[in-house]
């Protein structure tokens, strides 16, 4: 079984255009994400998927595997589908291109021991939330699941609501997802439904259509997405504190 890690990296960003090329200790951010992905031993190969020649050029300069995808792709899953048409694998793992400190354990967690190929199947790494501020933050996607850790729902609001008891642990979507080819084909040939539109959570499309999304809990170090120049400064500071740069 081959598992391909795909670092999704685009140039266009409303709040921080070109962030994939932002300098961190003398290297572009996409380089740091790629290096972290290489540490995930459950990946057989890592590649950057981008729709911008500037990112492709910098990947080639630094010796990173890279593939160009169409700028018409509206979502990361659309881009993953395009990658799957060019590179065969039994499982495809999406890795956000804006998390230079992503924990390899979060990537490994999304790769199951058994990967069904005859049905649509996807995975999502989740982790415990222990900070009430994070729980209330709408940018953190909260999740609920059954006793098999199969996804029931995802929301930007704290779910479930602690009306009857406070004895509950909140979990959040980490942003590392895995797909087999059938799941990517389903996504490519479907349209967003009600709850996806309401919550603006792309992954809800799978649940709207009743597809299986398997959660895996990972004990991971807290990561930080670089969405703004201010976030970049935080990452640089954290990496200096850890003597990484």
What would the DSSP string read from start to end of 171-218? EEEEEEEEE-HHHHHHHHT----HHHHHHT-TTHHHHHTT-EEEEEE-
Given a cut of 90, whether residue 166 has pLDDT beyond it is: no
| Residue 159 clears pLDDT 80, i.e. is over it | yes
Integer Cα distance of 110 and 102 in angstroms: 13
Tell me which long-range contacts 131-138 makes (C-beta under 8 A, separation of at least 24): 134/172, 135/170
Q: What is the DSSP letter of 37?
A: H
Do residues 32 and 238 make contact, with C-beta atoms less than 8 angstroms apart? no
Nearest by Cα to 227 from 96, 111, 112, 132? 96
Q: Tokens 């391909």 belong to which residue? A: 4
User: What would the mean pLDDT of 13-19 be, rounded to a whole number?
Assistant: 87
Q: What is the pLDDT of residues 63-120, one digit of tens each?
A: 999 999 999 998 999 999 999 999 999 999 999 999 999 999 999 999 999 999 999 9
Question: What SS3 state is found at 234?
Answer: helix
- Please name the residue that has the structure tokens 């740069």: 245
d(CA 50, CA 59): 10
Q: Which residue has the tokens 């929301």?
A: 155
Taking the complete model, does pTM exceed 0.85, yes or no? yes
């Amino acid at each position: 079984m081959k598992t391909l890690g795909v670092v999704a990296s685009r140039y266009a960003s409303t709040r921080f255009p070109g962030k994939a090329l932002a300098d961190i200790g003398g290297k572009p951010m996409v380089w740091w994400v790629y290096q972290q992905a290489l540490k995930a031993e459950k990946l057989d190969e890592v590649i950057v998927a981008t729709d911008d020649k500037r990112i492709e050029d910098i990947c080639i300069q630094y010796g990173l595997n890279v593939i160009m995808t169409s700028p018409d792709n509206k979502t990361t899953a659309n881009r993953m589908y395009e990658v799957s048409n060019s590179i065969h694998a039994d499982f495809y793992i999406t890795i956000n291109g804006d998390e230079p400190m992503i924990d390899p354990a979060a990537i490994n967690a999304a790769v199951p021991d058994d990967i069904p190929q005859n049905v649509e199947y996807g995975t999502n790494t989740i982790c415990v939330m222990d900070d009430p501020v994070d729980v209330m933050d709408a940018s953190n996607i909260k999740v609920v699941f059954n006793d098999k850790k199969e996804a029931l729902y995802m929301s930007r609001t704290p779910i479930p609501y602690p009306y009857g008891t406070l004895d509950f642990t909140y979990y959040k979507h980490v942003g590392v997802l895995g797909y087999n080819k059938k799941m990517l084909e389903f996504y490519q040939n479907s349209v967003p439904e009600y709850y996806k539109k309401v919550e603006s959570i792309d992954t809800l499309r799978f649940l709207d259509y009743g597809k299986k999304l398997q959660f895996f809990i990972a004990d991971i170090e807290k990561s930080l997405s670089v969405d703004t120049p201010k976030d970049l400064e935080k990452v640089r500071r954290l990496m200096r504190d850890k003597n990484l740069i």
